[in-house]
Amino acid sequence: MSRQDKLLESLASGRRLCDDCLSEITEVKPRQSVCQACNVLRGKKLISRLTERCEACGRMKIVNALVSKVRQFPKIRANAIVASVASNTSSSSKPWYWEGHVQTEIVRYLKASNVSIQSEANTAIREQGIDIEAIDIDGLPLWVSVKGFPEKSSNTQARHWFAGALLDLALYKDKNPTAKLALGLPIGFATYESLVKRAHSTLAFFGCNIFWVTERGKVTREVIGQG
């Protein structure tokens, strides 16, 4: 069975699924190959690809859905596998400062600010790539690297995560010099607040914004250099 047939077979159940969940269900790897195959299927007008909520992981992402009558595929254990994916990516037991919760609140804030969300990384399965891709209200791309706060070896691990975020910004800048860059961080942790102050010149060089997220989900957007 071809890669495209596997994807169509899974979507024949009527589910509306993102690339990540389709990759898990069909075992088509890497995830980028699912995206490529789905774009081909969309070109053939067999599926749609719209930004909405995935029925498996519950995240707002580009979601694939069957739109044309195609030949009948033999039924597979799609429902059971989708349920397994949803269970594995459940975030209900995570603390408020977990990366996934921080990202969710930032996305909610951006949407309320009329910022157009293009894509979100699935933090539950540690998807690689830009955490949040958006189009800001001025029409420019906005790329956000989101970090939570670690539960173990907190201060040491937080410094490593912050360093990783700075590397993200450098790679984003190289990939698209016109994109506006930002960090998303939980507020109230001295390690992050101190590192932001100490790295002020570097963040200013990137023209970086900071999205600070509180325990109650309030988001404050700080433009480095403007307070």
pLDDT digits (tens, 9 = 90+) for 106-149: 999 999 999 999 988 876 656 667 899 999 999 999 999 999 99
3-state DSSP assignment of residue 200: helix
| Tokens representing residue 101 in the block | 């919760």
**pLDDT value at position 92?**
59
Q: Which CATH architecture has domain 3-88?
A: Orthogonal Bundle (1.10)
3-state DSSP assignment of residue 7: helix
* Helix intervals (H) in 12-143: 19-26, 31-43, 78-88, 99-112
pLDDT digits (tens, 9 = 90+) for 143-169: 999 999 998 878 899 999 999 999 999
* Segments of the chain with pLDDT less than 70: 1, 68-92, 123-128, 225-227
Top-tier CATH class for 99-223: alpha beta
**pLDDT value at position 127?**
61
**pLDDT value at position 30?**
86
**pLDDT value at position 126?**
61
**pLDDT value at position 83?**
41
**pLDDT value at position 89?**
45
Domain boundaries, the chain: 3-88, 99-223
**pLDDT value at position 45?**
83
